[in-house]
Structure 1
Amino acid sequence: MSADGYFPVNSIMKKTLFTLLLVGASASVASAQVEIGLKVSPSITYLRTESRSEQNFQNDKSKLSIGGGLIVDYFFGENYAFSTGFLLAGKGGTISYRDVASDTNTDLVTRTQKIGLQYLEVPVTVKLYTNDVATDTKIYFQVGGSANVAIASKINGNKFYNDPATSEGETKALKHFIFPDAALLLGAGVEYQVGQSTKLLAGISYHRGLVNLDRYFDKTRGFDGVTIKNNEIALDLGIKF
């Protein structure tokens, strides 16, 4: 009570609001459900390219890759879950570009690079589930992104690359690319409950890279305006316990 005989209303309201927030948070934690599982994702990956017309960078071929790892779905409602995990993902593809011939330094030739990249990937997504569309079967939609770090790379099947247009010798393939990557992730699929806590899932997802991966053509070769980004279409197969 204050000196004039009245209760401090603002203080009471703050304490009441704080208590309600604590109660709500406790109830949310108590009712939350965590599902952990394993996933394998065969995929088709390719590289989106942009450049000035004189270099003419192009996506030449796609690449078959495979990834997988741990998935975690944290439900904050009956049909809503925060979905993350810790995955190993293969990406890359074949690009082509125009470059000077090594013997004349003036004539132009078309060169190709078959690029293979391996990432540690952490999805940061939300899954939205329908009610049962059949017995013990739900459809889900996934939206969000992923944070990725490159841990290995090969160019033309080798961990080192010798650029035929220069005399600098071999360079480490992994140093041709920026380590961190981020991607937009969109997906959809089906989950089928086969036991009290066991679920099978099958879906498809699209991963659109947002970061320019190139570090070699810009820094070492002096090509201006080159952009190389990951793209992936994956088949997601998994089991949750």
Structure 2
Amino acid sequence: MSGTTTPVAVVTGGGRGIGRAVCLLLAERGYAVCLSYVADAAAAQAVVEAIIAKGGKAVAVKGDVGVEADVLALFEAADRLGPVTALINNAGVVDVAARVSDMSAERLTRMMTTNVVGSFLCAREAVRRMSTKHGGQGGGIVNLSSVAARLGGPGQYVDYAASKGAIDTFTTGLAREVAAEGIRVNAVSPGIIDTEIHASGGQPDRVARLGPDQPMGRAGTAEEVAAPIVWLLSDEAAYMTGANLLVSGGR
């Protein structure tokens, strides 16, 4: 973040929850923010307006990370803000609790397309811009994984857990692939976090039910996940790549 050029961060799913908290914190740290959203235009625009109100730069782009054309449009919008130096692969979906024996092909395709293929496509575009091999100035990528990758999600969402297991492997492989090209790739694995994602999976009371059972006695907040994400992009984490930080309250 040296010089006078404003660094640009792309945050997928930046309108709500962890993505929103990341956008606001990145803006505080001097980044221009290009965030994507799928449906809630009002929420995404509210994030943009909050950043602009404090003197920052931000733009919201409607798009599905699982659709290649939408990913290309997202990064083209980011390019108009300046050089992309950070990507936060935050967009993800869950589904209603189900056993593997009851999961449809449509459900599995949606889960893997958004959570895995979307992260690959966004990382591809980020690497093309940031890699010194491609004439870039370097940068950082942070992938959102989950403690579910380790716990497996039995009886609820083994498919979601498996998609996050893929993200863990993706983080390790990409980190090693581009380490010599000025790009650091890390992951953060949240536990039970108080965001809207639980309601989208048909369990709006999940935080209230499970929060008190966590080792720290409560669920985490979006801001408590955003802080380590942004830290991983900072110079303080300059020798970290391929890492996966548990932000789970001990879960």
Which bracket does the TM-score occupy, shorter chain normalised?
Answer: under 0.3
TM-score normalized by the length of structure 1: 0.28
Larger Rg: 1
Structure number having the greater strand percentage: 1
TM-score normalized by the length of structure 2: 0.27
Structure number having the greater helix percentage: 2
